[in-house]
Chain A
Amino acid sequence: MMQASTRRIWGLMYRHIALYRNSWPRLVELAYWPILQMCIWGFTASFLASRQGSPAALAGGALLGGVLLWEVSLRSQMGMSITFLEEIWSRNLGHVFVSPLRPMELVAALIGMSALRMLAGVIPAILLAWALYAFNLFSVGPILVLYFVNLMMMGWAVALAVVSLILRHGAGAEALAWSVLFGLTPISAVFYPVSVLPAWLQPVARAVPASHVFEGMRAALATGIIAWHEMGWAVGLNVIWLLGAAWLFAAQFHAARTRGALLSIGE
C-alpha cells in the first residue's frame, strides 16, 4: 500500500501520463526536437570530420556530446514547466490546489514528469546518434549518470523559477517555459570551453552548473580522465540553485494565495 504522500504524487503524475497515453502528437513532440537537433549537428560533425580528419572528429564528438547532454537540461526544464502549464490550460488547478496535495508534492510530481519526458525525448536521440554516426555517449562510462543527474537538477531549478514567475505573473509568463534556458546556452559551455568567453563573463559562466558538466564531459571524451573537481562544483552549484528556486516557489505560492492569483491564474 502506497503512503498517502507517494500516492498523491503518483496521482498527479498519472493525470499527465494518461494525457500522453491519449495524445500521440504530444508523444511525438517529446522526441521531435532532440532528434532534429541530433540530425543537424550530427551531419555537421560528420561533414567536418570528413574534411578535417582526426582533430575535427574529436571536436565533432564533443559537439554531439554537448548537443545530447544539453537536451537533458532543456527537456527537464521544459518538461517541468509545461506539465505545470498543462494544469493551467486545462483549468484544473483549482481542483488540484483544493485537494490535500502539498506544494512540495506538486513539485515532486512535476519533477517526476520532467524526468519521464526527458527520457522519452533524449533516449531516442542518443540511440540515433549511435546508429547514424557511431557516436556512443555511453563510452564516457558510468560518470554519464552523474552528468545526467546534474543537468536534470539544473533544469528543475530553472523550471521551478519559471513556475514561480507564472504564479507571480500568470499565464503571461508562459513564454519563459520555452525560452529561458536557451538564454543560458552561451554561458553554459555547451559547445566550447569557458576559457573562450571574455574574461569578465567567465565568472558568470562558472556560476552555471552546466558549464562544469560540459567541461568535465569534454575532458572525459578527450583524455578518458574524469574531472571530479568539475563534478563537485556542478553538484554544489545545483544545490544552491535548487534551494534558491525552492525558496522563490514557496514565496510566490504564498503570495499567490494571498493575492487570489490561484483563482485566476489562467487569465
Chain B
Amino acid sequence: MQAIFVTSLTKRYGETLAVDDISFEAPRGATIGLLGGNGAGKTTTIAMLLGLLVPSSGEIRMLGHDMRTDRFAALARMNFSSPYVALPHRLTVAENLRVYGHLYNVRNAERRIEELAAELDLGALLHRPAGDLSAGQKTRVALAKSLINRPDVLLLDEPTASLDPDTGDLVRSWLERYQAESGCTILLASHNMAEVERLCSDVLVLKRGRIVDRGTPGELLERYGQDNLEEVFLDIARDRATKEHAT
C-alpha cells in the first residue's frame, strides 16, 4: 500500500485551474519533493492532502484512508509544518507542544515532549513564550510540533525558509535521521534546490498546476544536462528544452 496515493487531482477556483489533473504516489519511507515556482500549485496540493481544501475532482488516499470520507483517521497519523502557520505566541513552547499532544492523543505526551526537547535542543526554550523565539528556534519548535505524534506521513511546506545555512543544515540532518529511524514518508515543498537534491528520493515538478516532469534528482539532472537542480528548475520555469529534446 502506498502512503500517499493521488489520482487525477484537480482544484478549480472559478475559471482558474490551481491544480490540473495531477497523479502521483509515494511509497512508505520515500521523500517526495514538490518543486515549482510561486503559483505552481504546491501549497494548494498540500492543502488538499491535509484535508484543508476540498478537491474539485480526483481522489486522495493517505495511508489507505480516503480523504473525502475518512480524513480524520488519516490526520491522526499525519502532521504538517510550515513557517507560514504560526503557533500561539503567548503560550510557552511546552504549553504549545502539550496542546498538540492532546489534539493528537499522544500517549505519555510529557515524555514525548522531553524526547523532542532533547533531540531538537529545545530544553532551554520549553518555558519561554513561542513569540519570543528567533526564526531558527521557531522552526525547531514547529518541527517538534509536527513530530509530536510520530507521524507516518509528514508534509513540510518550505521547512527551512528564512533560516541561516547552519540552522537549515541542522534541520535537514534531523529530518534525514528521523526518517531513517521511523520510516516516515515525507512530502516536501521547497524553493531550496539543494535541500530537495539532498533529501528527496523523487521529485515532482509543478508548473501552472500540472506535473511537467518527475524523477529522481539524478534522473532530472541527467535529463536536462545540468549539474544542479537550480539549473533544472530554471530550464523548466523558462521553458528551455531538455537535453533529450534538444538533441
Please give the residue numbers on chain A whose beta carbons come within 8 Å of chain B beta carbons, in ascending order. Answer: 4, 7-8, 10-12, 14-15, 18-19, 22-23, 90-92, 94-102, 254, 257-260, 262-263
Grouping DSSP codes into helix (H, G, I), strand (E, B) and loop, the A interface class, with mixed when no group exceeds half, is helix
Closest 3 CB pairs of A and B: A11-B102, A94-B85, A91-B86
Instruction: Let me know if B105 is at the binding interface, CB within 8 A.
Output: yes
Closest A residue to B52 by beta carbon equals A262
In the bound complex, residues from chain B placing their C-beta under 8 Å from that of A91 are 85-86
Q: Interface range on chain B: under 10, 10 to 19, 20 to 34, or 35 or more? A: 35 or more
In the bound complex, residues from chain A placing their C-beta under 8 Å from that of B82 are 94
State the Cβ distance, B186 to closest chain A Cβ, in Å.
Answer: 16
Please give the residue numbers on chain B whose beta carbons come within 8 Å of chain A beta carbons, in ascending order. Answer: 13, 43-44, 47, 50-54, 72, 75-76, 78-80, 82, 84-92, 95, 98-105, 129, 145
State the Cβ distance, A96 to closest chain B Cβ, in Å.
Answer: 7
State the Cβ distance, A17 to closest chain B Cβ, in Å.
Answer: 10
Candidates B79, B89, B103; contact of A101 at CB < 8 Å: B103
Closest B residue to A23 by beta carbon equals B90
In the bound complex, residues from chain B placing their C-beta under 8 Å from that of A100 are 72, 75-76, 103-105
How many Å lie between the Cα of A113 and that of B97 in the bound state?
Answer: 20
How many Å lie between the Cα of A18 and that of B129 in the bound state?
Answer: 11
How many Å lie between the Cα of A263 and that of B82 in the bound state?
Answer: 12
In the bound complex, residues from chain A placing their C-beta under 8 Å from that of B92 are 18, 22
How many Å lie between the Cα of A11 and that of B75 in the bound state?
Answer: 16
In the bound complex, residues from chain B placing their C-beta under 8 Å from that of A259 are 13
A-B contact pairs, 21 of them (CB 8 A): A10-B102, A11-B99, A11-B100, A14-B95, A15-B95, A18-B95, A23-B90, A90-B89, A90-B90, A92-B87, A94-B85, A95-B100, A98-B50, A98-B78, A99-B104, A102-B72, A257-B52, A257-B53, A260-B44, A262-B52, A263-B47
Closest B residue to A94 by beta carbon equals B85
How many Å lie between the Cα of A98 and that of B101 in the bound state?
Answer: 14
B91 and A99 contacting across the interface, CB-CB below 8 Å = no
Q: Which of A92, A96, A259 has the most CB of B within 10 A?
A: A92
Q: Which of A7, A12, A95, A254 has the most CB of B within 10 A?
A: A95
How many Å lie between the Cα of A18 and that of B53 in the bound state?
Answer: 30
A7 and B105 contacting across the interface, CB-CB below 8 Å = yes
Closest A residue to B49 by beta carbon equals A98
A96 and B86 contacting across the interface, CB-CB below 8 Å = no
How many Å lie between the Cα of A132 and that of B43 in the bound state?
Answer: 59
B105 and A8 contacting across the interface, CB-CB below 8 Å = yes
Closest A residue to B78 by beta carbon equals A98
State the Cβ distance, A8 to closest chain B Cβ, in Å.
Answer: 5
State the Cβ distance, B39 to closest chain A Cβ, in Å.
Answer: 14
State the Cβ distance, A167 to closest chain B Cβ, in Å.
Answer: 13
Closest A residue to B148 by beta carbon equals A99
In the bound complex, residues from chain A placing their C-beta under 8 Å from that of B44 are 260
Closest B residue to A1 by beta carbon equals B107
How many Å lie between the Cα of A258 and that of B12 in the bound state?
Answer: 10
How many Å lie between the Cα of A8 and that of B98 in the bound state?
Answer: 11
A22 and B104 contacting across the interface, CB-CB below 8 Å = no
In the bound complex, residues from chain A placing their C-beta under 8 Å from that of B90 are 19, 22-23, 90
Closest B residue to A22 by beta carbon equals B90
In the bound complex, residues from chain A placing their C-beta under 8 Å from that of B91 are 15, 18-19, 22
State the Cβ distance, A18 to closest chain B Cβ, in Å.
Answer: 4
A95 and B105 contacting across the interface, CB-CB below 8 Å = no
